[in-house]
Amino acid sequence: MKKIYFLIALLVLAFGFFLYANEPILHQSEKGKITIPFGRSYDYNDILVKRAVDGDTLVLESGERVRLIGIDTPEMHESSKLYRDSQRSKQDVKTIKEMGRRAYEFTKNLVEGKRVRLEFDVEKYDKYDRLLVYVYLKDGTFVNAEIIKQGYASLMTFPPNVKYADLFRQLYREAYENKRGLWAD
């Protein structure tokens, strides 16, 4: 029994040291949710994209999900949005899913496993608690703009996050007129 108490005490001490060494700070999100970040703090000027979830959503090394501001790529998974988009666009679900897969592959090849810099606009989080961001590769490539420029996203502008709306509109028009990416078909 003494061994069990000793192990518990050791774990408590180790956890306490971990907390002390990593200086946890209370953080209150815009939705009022309080979190205590543990472990490493992350620098949004130099953070790794762990994976692409789809064409416009990423997961960072911190575990945070980010939503690329100003763009909307087709859905590739079953969802109510997939069916709404199908009704709105008059395209069948299979076609939209294939377009979503192509947009995902483009985004994945562009950013997955790479270190990036994040830029915020007015609002930092969306209603799903994803970070709302503009993403830049280390070589300066503006990821949100590149996805539109190459024809893998439509525009999705929600004020007050409109910093690059005019640029995105111009890039979208050029991609559509020049039949790039998803507009090639």
Please give the positions annotated as active site: 67, 75, 130
Which residue reads 């007129």 in tokens?
177
71 with 50: CB under 8 angstroms?
A: no
- For the stretch 50-79, what's the b/e string if a residue is b when 16 or more beta carbons lie within 10 angstroms of its beta carbon? eebbbbbbbbbebebebbbbbbbbbbbeee
Neighbour count for residue 132 (Cβ, 10 Å):
19
